[in-house]
């Protein structure tokens, strides 16, 4: 029998400024590894498929997650990926030369983000 423990996590007090990121058909780093990351979001804002690799370099045929295209650029209908546990590197690649997405990351001040006393101020 396994034991499960509920741990109250600290509030998220730091968020990166969301900005549109351009990505092409060569894989690139979206987010560097960061133990202080509590959550990140990637939303496809373009008309090409965005593919993500977690700790690995994605290709057009091998990847972890594919984000669907927008009906029109920046219309808000593109695929969204939200992760609240991965702190490793996140790579991305686009199915076409003009891919775009918005990447946002939330961080805590402590590398041990399960500390309820951490207010994320450092």
**CATH architecture of structural domain 14-107:** Sandwich (2.60)
Per DSSP, 62 falls in state -
The mean pLDDT value for 20-40 works out to 92
Tell me the average pLDDT across 59-79.
Answer: 96
Tokens of 31: 């987010």
SS3 105: strand
Predicted model pTM: 0.78
- Residue 29 forms beta bridges with which residues? 91
pLDDT digits (tens, 9 = 90+) for 99-114: 999 999 988 765 554 5
Residue 51 near residue 92 (C-beta atoms within 8 A): yes
Rounded to whole angstroms, the Cα distance separating 47 from 7 reads 40
Provide the CB-side half-sphere exposure for 6 (13 A, CA). Answer: 1
Mean of the pLDDT values across residues 72-86? 94
């Amino acid at each position: 029998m396994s034991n499960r423990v509920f741990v109250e996590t600290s509030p998220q007090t730091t968020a990166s400024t969301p900005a549109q990121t351009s990505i092409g058909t060569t894989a690139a780093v979206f987010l560097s590894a960061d133990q202080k990351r509590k959550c990140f979001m990637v939303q496809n804002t373009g008309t090409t498929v965005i593919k993500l690799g977690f700790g690995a370099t994605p290709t057009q045929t091998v990847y972890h997650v594919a984000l669907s295209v927008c009906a029109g650029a920046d219309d808000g209908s593109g695929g969204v990926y939200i992760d609240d546990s991965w702190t490793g590197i996140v790579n991305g690649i686009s199915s076409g030369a003009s891919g775009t997405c918005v990447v946002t990351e939330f961080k805590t001040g402590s590398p041990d983000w399960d500390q309820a006393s951490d207010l994320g101020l450092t």
